[in-house]
A and B are shown apart, each in its own frame.
Chain A
Amino acid sequence: MSARRGAAGLLALLMLLAIAAPFVSPQDPSERFPDLPDAPPTPLRLFTAGGQWCGLCFHPQRLVSRLERRFEIDTTAPVPVHLFSRGRLIADSGDPGTPLLLAGTDASGRDVFARLIFGARASLGVAIIAVLGAVALGLTIGGLAGARGGWVDTWLMRLADAIAVLPAIYVVVTLRAALPLVLPVATVFALITLLLAVVGAPWIARGVRAIVSVERTLGHVEAARALGASSTRILLQHLLPATRGFIMRQAALLLPAFVLAEATLSFVGLGLPDTVPSWGTSLQEAANVSAIAAFPWLLAPAGAVFLVTLLVNVALGEHDADRVL
């Protein structure tokens, strides 16, 4: 039980980090450090390499060979790190020659940590809005099918099944590829969100329909009907509330699936443009590096997708086998 609480708390913390990205990240996500391409992370330290207490500091690195991506750690002058200064949680001296790189840089010398934190905004943003959309759609379709029954039920559920049985990523990729490749960022954002919501909705609709059609036959609904409640009122007041637990579970399951879907779409070049930091666009850049094993910090976004999924799975507890997508 406590592990589940902890996971949910960590997930909330992650979202807070994403919201507070400009404050948390020591660097700007689009700032390039041309002399530090593919630089490894700089560890924070309390003592200098000489063993002297320095509060909070790090040793900057210098490019030795651009071709081999070889770096040398300069131990002569430790750079002090300040907390809560220059409007950031952790700030270096502000000198572009010696930036604090908590997770290294990518091939164009941008801070991987900054892109990870700012990328969480796009990746989690798309996923959360898409989950809300899928829930809204699923509730409408499933509620209607379950409460009405008859041919409405048959056809709505047939439609939902037809969408649910198709491999979701193929549907999304096909529909996305059918539209112009270059679109304004806001349009792409809305489009991906909408596509994911549509693909996710059938999973919600099926369960809602099943719950509603059982609930409909129960005594308290019968009583409400006898008291003259309208069918809309019955649906909203008496039937849909019964689906709350199911909705929470499905929403939680859809979240990591959508995060992965966004990352995949951006990875193959059909998602957000690479000017927008997201976990998918960062991974796409990582894929251009031929020997990724030599630059493991570039895989941080994949780790982020993994972490979100893991936290959701832990928060959901034992019955975690019915995954979506």
Chain B
Amino acid sequence: MPARLLRRLAATLLLVVGVSSAAFLVTHLAPGDVVQTTMGFSASQATIARAQHRIGLDRPLLVQWGAWLAGVARLDLGTSALYQRPVGPLVAERALNTALLATVAFLVALMLGIPPAFITATRPRSLAAHLIRVASLVLLSLPPFVGMTSAEDVTGVALLADVLWHLPLPVAALALPLAATFERLQAQALTEALDQPAILAARARGIPEPTIVRRHAWRLALKPVAAVAGLVFGALLSGSFVVEMVTAWPGLGRLTYDALLHRDLELVAGCAAAGALVLSVGLLLADMAIAWSDPRVRVHVASEVRA
């Protein structure tokens, strides 16, 4: 187990450093740099050259990358030339906003999506089940642009009331399609689980049906849902990008976008690192969820199971 854990940590580290380095290098290859994009047309050649020299943009690419890597090794992510602030706290602050959005959306999706699945799986021919299936199909197709109906500007996310006030639409845009995904997955898994011999045995022992569903079938049906949870994190990050752009939510997506457009190398790399880290944590949580839902997996951890 410790060897696995170490390998896992190494893979995470590789992913984070790899992804952020790739973002750094790709952005560097792009035409223009942060000085040119922020100073505007009126700045003279000399002023631009001075500013480029001050933040070290006149050095060769590999030297800049090396300097950045050396900084990362000391947990110093550099300074954003665009915001004139250290990258670390800036990214952490915005990533927290995204995490808030994604976590709330995830929980809402679980609460909205899982319970109806019991109806569609246990009474598939009832009117309620039909309605739920139709609703799921519709919600599944909802583009995140629905958040656009409130194009209000969220300037500061300081007050709790402010956060609560602005949360519903972005969360709904993210959570509703996800809830539908959960409902469909859970319903399928439950239907399959109810067909298994273990359930037949439970019925034969005279255990009442509601208990069978709650205590036995659900336990069997958790794994498929847990298995997609890792992929869901990627989908949540992607979805939150659109939602953040549409609703002006000050999260990681908007920050990445601004950093990219202004060629703010260190900020781009910082955002990429944060994204990769969030993703790795998501994958780890998913594997833990799988292990929790299926005792057989606890020894050989989920990577084999998911494949």
Scoring A residues 146 to 177 as 1 if CB is less than 8 Å from chain B, else 0, what string do you get?
00000000000000000001111110011101
B60 in the interface (beta carbon within 8 A)? no
Tell me the B11-49 residues at the A interface (CB within 8 Å). Answer: 19, 23, 26-27, 29-31
Report the separation of the CA atoms of residues A156 and B239 in the bound assembly, to the nearest whole angstrom.
27
**B237 contacts A by Cβ under 8 Å:** yes
Q: How far is the CA of A325 from the CA of B240 in the complex (A)?
A: 12
Produce 1/0 per residue, A285-325, CB < 8 A to B.
01101101100000100100111011011100011111101
Determine whether B140 belongs to the interface, using a CB cutoff of 8 Å to chain A.
yes
Residues of B113-153 at the interface with A, using a CB-CB cut-off of 8 Å, are 137-138, 140-146, 148-149, 151
Q: Could you say which residues of chain A place their CB within 8 Å of the CB of B138? A: 310
Selected interface stretch from A8-16, A25-33, A261-269: A261-269
Q: Separation in Å of the A307 CB from the closest CB of chain B?
A: 8
Q: From residue A271, how far is it (CB to closest CB) to chain B in Å?
A: 12
Q: How far is the CA of A30 from the CA of B268 in the complex (A)?
A: 37
In the complex, whether A260 has a CB less than 8 A from a CB of chain B is yes
**Residue of B142, B145, B257 touching A173 (CB-CB under 8 A):** B257
* In the complex, A283 has a CB within 8 A of chain B: yes
Q: Is the CB of A167 within 8 A of B275?
A: yes
Q: Which residues of the other chain, B, contact A179 by a CB distance below 8 angstroms?
A: 30
A314-B137, A320-B184 as given contacts; A325 in contact with B238, CB under 8 Å:
yes
Find A169's partner among B137, B241, B260 (CB 8 Å cutoff): B241
**Contact (Cβ within 8 A) A175 B26:** yes
Knowing A170-B241, A177-B30, A309-B141, the reply to whether A286 touches B148 (Cβ < 8 A) is yes
B184 x A321 contact (CB < 8 A): yes
Whether the pair A293, B149 counts as a contact (CB closer than 8 A) is: yes
Contact status B245-A268, CB under 8 Å: yes
User: Could you tell me if B256 and A260 are in contact, using CB atoms closer than 8 angstroms?
Assistant: no
Size of interface on B: residues with Cβ below 8 Å to A = 42
Contact with A along B246-283 (1 / 0, CB 8 A): 10000001001100110000001000100100010001
- Provide the residues of chain A in CB contact with B26, threshold 8 Å: 174-175, 178
Smallest distance from the beta carbon of B272 to chain A beta carbons, Å? Answer: 8
A99 interfacial by beta-carbon distance below 8 Å: no
Distance (whole angstroms) from the CB of A230 to the closest CB of chain B: 30
In this assembly, does B79 line the interface, its C-beta being within 8 Å of a C-beta of chain A?
A: no
B181-225 contact mask (Cβ, 8 Å, vs A): 1 or 0: 100110010000000000000000000000000000000000000
Which residues of chain B are near A178, meaning CB under 8 Å? 26-27, 29-30, 260
Are A321 and B181 within 8 A (Cβ)?
yes
- Count of interface residues, chain A, beta-carbon cutoff 8 Å: 44
A185 to B194, CA, bound (A): 54
Q: Tell yes or no: B234 within 8 A of A by CB.
A: yes
A238-281, CB under 8 A of B: which get 1 and which 0? Answer: 00000000000000000010001001100110000000000000
Does B174 interact with chain A (Cβ within 8 Å)? no
A180 contacts partner chain B, Cβ-Cβ < 8 Å = yes
Q: Return chain A residues, CB-CB under 8 Å to B188.
A: 318-319, 321
Main secondary structure of the interface of B (DSSP, over half): helix
Kindly identify, within residues 230 to 244 of chain B, every residue whose CB is under 8 Å from any CB belonging to chain A: 234-235, 237-238, 241-242
- Could you tell me the distance between the alpha carbons of A8 and B6 in the complex, rounded to whole angstroms? 49
The answer for the CA separation of A234 and B282 in the assembled complex, in Å, is 40
**How many angstroms from the CA of A283 to the CA of B145 in the assembled complex?**
9
With A170-B241, A268-B245, A292-B149 given, is the CB distance from A323 to B140 under 8 Å? Answer: yes
Contact residues, A1-43 vs B (CB, 8 A): none
Contact A283 B275, beta carbon cutoff 8 Å: no
A325 to B143, CA, bound (A): 12
Residue contact A165 to B184, C-beta cutoff 8 Å: no
Q: Give the chain A neighbours of B261 by CB distance below 8 A.
A: 177, 181
Alpha-carbon distance between A184 and B307 when the two chains are bound, in angstroms: 42
Instruction: Kindly report which residue of chain A lies nearest to residue B153, judged by CB atoms.
Output: A290
Given the complex, which residues of A lie within 8 Å of B238, measured CB to CB?
167-170, 325
B140's contact among A165, A174, A302, A320, by CB below 8 Å, is which? A320
Question: B143 → chain A, closest Cβ, in Å?
Answer: 4
Measured in the bound complex, the distance between the Cα atoms of B141 and A306 in whole Å is 6
Specify the chain A residue showing the minimal Cβ separation from B23.
A174
Closest to A157 in B: B307
Contact between chains at A166 and B279 (CB < 8 Å): yes
List the A side residues contacting B237 at CB < 8 Å.
167, 170
Q: Which residue of chain B has the shortest Cβ distance to A177 in the bound complex?
A: B260
Residues of chain B within 8 A (CB-CB) of A256 are: 141
A-B contact pairs, 22 of them (CB 8 A): A167-B238, A167-B241, A167-B275, A167-B279, A169-B242, A174-B256, A174-B268, A175-B26, A178-B27, A178-B260, A264-B245, A287-B148, A290-B151, A299-B149, A302-B145, A306-B142, A309-B143, A312-B141, A313-B140, A314-B137, A321-B185, A325-B235
Q: Which residues of A contact B (CB under 8 A)?
A: 165-170, 173-175, 177-181, 256, 260, 263-264, 267-268, 283, 286-287, 289-290, 292-293, 299, 302, 305-307, 309-310, 312-314, 318-323, 325
Q: Which 3 A-B pairs have the closest CB atoms?
A: A309-B141, A310-B141, A177-B260
Given A167-B234, A169-B242, 9 other A-B contacts at CB below 8 A?
Answer: A267-B245, A283-B145, A292-B148, A292-B151, A299-B148, A306-B143, A312-B141, A313-B137, A325-B238
